[in-house]
Structure 1
Amino acid sequence: MPPGITTLAADAPTLSAANTGFMLVCSALVMLMTPALAFFYGGMVRVKSTLNMLMMSFISLGIVTILWVLYGFSLAFGTDIGSVLGWSSDYVGLSGIGITQLWDGYTIPVYVFAVFQLMFAVLTPALISGALADRVKFTSWALFITLWVTVVYFPVAHWVWGAGGWLFELGVIDFAGGTAVHINAGAAALGVILVIGKRVGFKKDPMRPHSLPLVMLGAGLLWFGWFGFNAGSWLGNDDGVGAVMFVNTQVATAAAMLAWLGYEKLRHGSFTTLGAASGAVAGLVAITPSGGAVSPLGAIAVGAIAGVLCAMAVGLKYRFGYDDSLDVVGVHLVGGIAGSLLVGLFATGGVQSDAKGLFYGGGLDQLGKQAVGVFAVLAYSLVVSALLTFLLDRTIGMRVDEDDEISGIDQVEHAETAYDFSGASGGAALRTTASAAPGTTAAAQTKKVDA
C-alpha cells in the first residue's frame, strides 16, 4: 500500500469521482470482513462459545473505530517521527482535515483514505481472537484490543506504509498487509496463548466445529471482502495495478484451496469442508503482501505453496503443545510469512515496482529485505503482545474460571446462548428424553447437547 507522497503544486492531482467511489466501496468490503470473520470463527467453536466468538470480533468495530479517530490515524499516517511513529495534530479527532483535501499524491480525499485504513485496523485484532476461543474474559479482551492497537498495530502500520516508516524506506514490499496485518496478528496470537495457556481438555476432549455451514459462509464472505482489501490497496486503478491484484487474489486463493485439499487427501484420506475454507483463507493471506509484485502464474505458485505449508503448520500445536484454538498461528502467521518471503522469489519487476525476485534475475536483495520485515514485525508483536497479556493477567485477569469455561463462556460472559433448544418441537423433545440415560431429565440432556 503506497504511503502519502508529496507532489509539486504544478503536478498536484485533482479529485477523481471514480477513484473516490471505488475506494468507498472497497472500504465497505473490508468492513464486511470483520463480521465475516466472526461467522468463520463462530462456526469453528463449540456451541457453548459461539456468541463469545462472534462478539470478540464484533467489538473491534466499536473500540478501534473510536481510537482511530482520536489518535490512531495520526500515529500511523501522520508526519514521521524517527521512522517509527507518525503524528499530525490535524489528524487528531480528524478535526483538521478539509472535506475536499486529497491524500498526498492521490486523487481521493483524506477522509476516504482514513476510513479505508480504519477497516484494516479493525480487522487485525479481530484475527487474534480465534486463537483464544473458550477461555478469555470479555472485558479483558476489550482492554487488550485497546492497548494492542495503540502500542503494536498503529506503530507497525507506520513502519510498513507510513511515509518515512523504516520498513517502507528499506524497500520491504507489503501490498496490503502480510506483515502489518497477518504476521502482526499471528505473532500476537502466539504471544497471548503462551501466557494464558491451554483450554481445559486440550488434546483430550473433542473440540470439533459446531457449524461447518457457518464456517463456509464466513469463508465465502471473507473471500468476497478480500477483493476490496487487496485491490483497493493501490488507492485507485488508473494504471491497472489494482486490476492485477484483483486477478491474483482470485488465482492464489483457488490454488491454495486446491493445494490444501490435496494435502489433506494424501495425509488424512478425505476432502473436508473445513479444509476447503481454511485453504482459501491461507491463499488470501499469502497473496495479500505479494499480489502486486507477481504475475498470475506466480500467484498460483504463492497460493499452492502457502496452502500446503499452512495445512502442515496447523498440526504443530499438538506437537509443541500450544493451544491455537482456531489456527490463527498456522494460517495467518505462517501464511503471512510465506507470502511475504515469496515476493523475494517471484516478484517480476513489472507490476507495482521494478523490484525483482530471485527467479526473475533480482538476486537475493529483495528476499533479504522481505526477511527483515517479516522477522522485525514478528518479534515486536510477539514480545509486546505477551507482555501486555502478562500485565493484564496479573491485574484484572485474562481467563474465566475453570468451572465457567467448562459450563460455557456464552452464559457466563453474555448471559445468552446461540441456539434455543427449549424451542424444539414436541417430537424432538420426546426423542431427546427417550434417548437419555435412565434417570436423566430432559433439561439435563438438553444441557449436555448445548455443551
Structure 2
Amino acid sequence: MRRILLSLGILAGALLAAPALAAAPAAPLLAHQTTLELNEASSAWILTSTALVLLMTLPGLALFYGGMVRKKNVIATIAHSTAALAIVTVLWFAVGYSLSFGTSGEATNGFIGGLQAAFLNGLTPTTAHRLTPGLPEFLWVAYQLTFAIITPALIAGAFAERIKFSASILFFALWHLIVYVPICHQVWGGGWMGSHGVLDFAGGAVVHVNAGVAGLVACLVLGPRQGFGRDNMAPHNLAFTAIGTGLLFVGWLGFNAGSAWAADGIAAVAALNTIVAAAAAAIGWTAVEWIDHKRPTLLGLLSGIVAGLVGVTPAAGFVDPKGAFFIGLLCGPACYAGAVWLKRALKYDDSLDAFGVHGVGGIVGAILTGVFATTTINAAGENANVVNQIVGLLAVMAWSAIGTFVILMICKFTVGLRVTKESEIEGLDYTQHGETIHQ
C-alpha cells in the first residue's frame, strides 16, 4: 500500500510540475535570429537545393577537373575537392557560419560577423535566420555551407598538378577563414557591400570572382608546371569532364534557383535563366573557337556551358530571360579570351582556367547584372547600378588577392608549396597519395 501511495504522490508531483516546466521561458534569440515561421514548400525546395549544390563539388567539380588533367594527376586533383569538402564543413560548423551570418554590432563596420553562434550554439529547430524566417536555421546553415565548400575547390583548378597536398589542406583552411568568410558576410550576411546596393544573387562575386582571383594569384606564385608550353598537357579523359559538366549544370539549378530562398516565381525565372545563359555561352565560346582554331571542340562546348553558368550566377534572380541570353552570349567569348588569349599573351599557367572562366565570367556577369536587372523580375532590381557593381568587384578582388598572397606565403614558409621536380614529373597521384589509375 505504501508503494502505491508513494507512486501516486510522485505522479501527482510530476503533473503539478509539468505546467511550470512548460511555462519555462525559451532561450533568448541571438541578434541574427527570429522565430521560425515554417514554409514547408520552400523548406523542401532548399533541402533539395542543398543536395544539388553539394553534388556540384562531389562528384561534379571533381570529375570536371579530374578529366582535364593528365592521367598521373587524376587522383590528386579529385582529392582537392574532397579535402575542401571535409575541411570547410568542420570550420563552417565551428566558426565560419557565425562569422559569415552572425551579427557583431557596429564595431566592425559591416566587415565580419560575430562568434555568438560558434559551434552552432543558440540554434534550435524553432529558430530561423532573420533573412529567411520561413526556413529552419539548421537548413540555412547547410545550404550556405555548400557554397562555402565549392569556392576553395574551384581555386584548386589553378594550381593543379604541382602543389603539395599538405599545402592545399593548409591553404583551404586559412582561405576559408581569412578570405571567404569576410566577403560572404560583407555581401550576403548584412555587411557593407550588401547594404550599399551591390547585387549578387547567387555568388558571382562571393564565389566566382573571389575564387578566380585567388586562382590567378596562386598560379603566379607557384609558377608554371614542368614542361609548360613545351609538353603535351591535353586532358586525359574528356568523358570525365563531360560527366562533370552535366553534374555541375544540374547542381547549378540549386545554386541559382535555390538562392531565391523560396519556392516562388523568382526561383522559377532563375532556373530558366541558368539554362538559357549556359546554352548561349556555349554557342558564343564555340563560335570564337571555331574561327580561332578552325574547328570546334567538345572541351570548348563544355567550357562555354560553365562560362554561361558562372556569368548568370550574380544576375539569375534579377534579370529576365532576354537579359540572361545576352549575359551568356557575351560571357562565352569573354571567357574564351581569358582562358586562351590572355593566358597565351601573359604566359601564366592557370592549369584548368580557374581565372579564365570563373574570374572573367564572374566579373562580366556582375557588371552586366547592373545593366540588365529589372524590377519586373525582382523589386531589388531598382538598386541595380553598374558603378556599385564595379565598386563591389574591386573590393572583392583586392581582398581576395591580398589575402590569398599572404596565405600562400604562410604555406610556403611552413609546409612548403610545390612538390619536387622529380615528384611532379612522376605524377602527384603516386608521389603524394601512393595511388595510381590503371587503364
Q: Tell me the equivalent position of 1:30.
A: 53
State which of 160, 165, 172 in structure 1 corresponds to 2:198.
172
Equivalent runs, 1:112-127 vs 2, <5 Å: 112-127=139-154
How far 1:18 sits from its partner (Å)? Answer: 1.3
Distance in 2 (alpha carbons) for counterparts of 1:200 and 1:13:
55
Change (3 A) 1:6 1:416: closer
Report Cα offsets for 1:416-440 as digits up to 9, x if no partner. Answer: 112x24xxxxxxxxxxxxxxxxxxx
How far 1:354 sits from its partner (Å)? Answer: 4.5
Distance in 2 (alpha carbons) for counterparts of 1:212 and 1:6:
46
Report Cα offsets for 1:91-124 as digits up to 9, x if no partner. Answer: 2111321112122252110001110000000000
State which of 38, 53, 61 in structure 1 corresponds to 2:77.
53
Which runs of 5 or more structure 2 residues have no equivalent in the other structure?
A: 1-29
Contact 2:100 2:182 survives alignment (8 Å): yes
Q: Tell me the equivalent position of 1:274.
A: 299
State which of 243, 254, 261 in structure 1 corresponds to 2:286.
261
How far 1:349 sits from its partner (Å)? Answer: 2.2
Distance in 2 (alpha carbons) for counterparts of 1:350 and 1:114:
30
Contact 1:203 1:318 survives alignment (8 Å): no
- Does residue 132 (structure 1) correspond to residue 156 (structure 2)? The answer is no
How far 1:352 sits from its partner (Å)? Answer: 2.4
State which of 351, 354, 370 in structure 1 corresponds to 2:389.
370
How far 1:307 sits from its partner (Å)? Answer: 0.5
State which of 351, 356, 376 in structure 1 corresponds to 2:377.
351
SS in 2 for 1:265: helix
Contact 2:36 2:127 survives alignment (8 Å): no
Q: Tell me the equivalent position of 1:41.
A: 65
How far 1:140 sits from its partner (Å)? Answer: 0.9
Contact 2:41 2:263 survives alignment (8 Å): no
SS in 2 for 1:102: strand
Q: Tell me the equivalent position of 1:193.
A: 219
How far 1:293 sits from its partner (Å)? Answer: 1.3
Report Cα offsets for 1:15-45 as digits up to 9, x if no partner. Answer: 0111111111100000000020010000000
Distance in 2 (alpha carbons) for counterparts of 1:309 and 1:356:
27
RMSD, aligned CA:
1.7
SS in 2 for 1:291: coil
Distance in 1 (alpha carbons) for counterparts of 2:380 and 2:314:
16
Distance in 1 (alpha carbons) for counterparts of 2:32 and 2:38:
15
Q: Tell me the equivalent position of 2:208.
A: 182
Q: Tell me the equivalent position of 1:214.
A: 240
Equivalent runs, 1:242-391 vs 2, <5 Å: 242-315=267-340, 316-356=342-382, 366-391=385-410
Report Cα offsets for 1:162-185 as digits up to 9, x if no partner. Answer: 12x010011000000000000000
- Does residue 16 (structure 1) correspond to residue 77 (structure 2)? The answer is no
Distance in 2 (alpha carbons) for counterparts of 1:137 and 1:15:
46
Contact 2:36 2:126 survives alignment (8 Å): no
Q: TM-score, normalised to structure 1's length?
A: 0.87
Distance in 2 (alpha carbons) for counterparts of 1:221 and 1:269:
29
How far 1:13 sits from its partner (Å)? Answer: 6.5
State which of 390, 409, 412 in structure 1 corresponds to 2:428.
409
SS in 2 for 1:351: coil
SS in 2 for 1:34: helix
Which runs of 5 or more structure 1 residues have no equivalent in the other structure?
A: 358-364, 422-451
Report Cα offsets for 1:128-177 as digits up to 9, x if no partner. Answer: 000111100001100100000000001100010012x0100110000000
How many pairs align? 404
Distance in 2 (alpha carbons) for counterparts of 1:93 and 1:355:
36
More displaced, 229-238 or 302-311?
Answer: 229-238
Report Cα offsets for 1:63-94 as digits up to 9, x if no partner. Answer: 000000000000100004320000141x2111
How far 1:355 sits from its partner (Å)? Answer: 3.1
Q: TM-score, normalised to structure 2's length?
A: 0.89
Report Cα offsets for 1:204-256 as digits up to 9, x if no partner. Answer: 11100000000000001000000000111111124x11111111001101100
- The letter of the residue matching 1:190 is L
Distance in 1 (alpha carbons) for counterparts of 2:409 and 2:102:
30
Structure of larger gyration radius: 2
